[in-house]
């Protein structure tokens, strides 16, 4: 009986090892696909962010984001999944920073535009006051000369 048992144990070990290896490969492939989708999603988001940056306030930050996404892609190709996740987390934070910087630059531009409009209104008001004062003086001078 031992003769028959041993070959079966070897075959059984081989089957279990093969199943484990296949499961690991499937899990790795699924993980790799998931990371690839995340990288592609962030690349699409990066393109959207670049379009939003009409005032070109975050050029350096966008360049850094692109570099990190390229790095994540290279690490994914090397099967360094933990490092890919770290880089993707960093890229997400960078994208949020860029969005905030873009919002701040748009608000700053809006405030500058309103400040310029306020200064123009003040200038016109001052001109109108001066013209009114000049008109009042002329009126008084005319009234004094007609008496």
Q: The whole model's pTM is what?
A: 0.68
pLDDT in tens, 63-111: 999 999 999 999 999 999 999 999 999 999 999 999 999 999 999 999 9
**pLDDT, tens only, 125-134:** 999 999 999 9
pLDDT at 15: 54
User: What is the predicted pLDDT for the residue at 147?
Assistant: 73
- Residue 14 confidence (pLDDT): 54
Q: Check residue 146 and give its pLDDT.
A: 83
Domain assignments of the chain as residue spans, ordered by start: 2-146
Q: Dump pLDDT digits (tens) for 8-56.
A: 555 555 555 555 544 444 446 688 899 999 999 999 999 999 999 999 9
DSSP 40-100: HHHHHHHHHHHHH-TT---HHHHHHHHHHHHHHHHHHHTT-HHHHHHHHHHHHHHHHHHHH
């Amino acid at each position: 009986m031992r003769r028959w048992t041993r070959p079966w144990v070897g075959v059984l070990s081989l089957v279990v090892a093969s199943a484990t290896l296949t499961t690991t490969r499937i899990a790795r492939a699924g993980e790799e696909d998931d990371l690839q989708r995340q990288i592609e999603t962030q690349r699409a988001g990066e393109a959207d962010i670049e379009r939003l940056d009409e005032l070109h306030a975050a050029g350096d930050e966008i360049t850094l984001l692109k570099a990190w996404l390229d790095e994540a892609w290279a690490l994914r190709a090397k099967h360094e999944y933990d490092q890919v996740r770290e880089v993707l987390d960093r890229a997400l934070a960078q994208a949020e920073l860029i969005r905030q910087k873009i919002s701040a630059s748009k608000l700053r531009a809006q405030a500058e535009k309103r400040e310029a409009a306020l200064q123009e209104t003040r200038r016109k008001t001052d001109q109108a006051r001066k013209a009114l004062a000049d008109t009042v003086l002329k009126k008084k001078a005319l009234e004094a000369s007609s008496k």
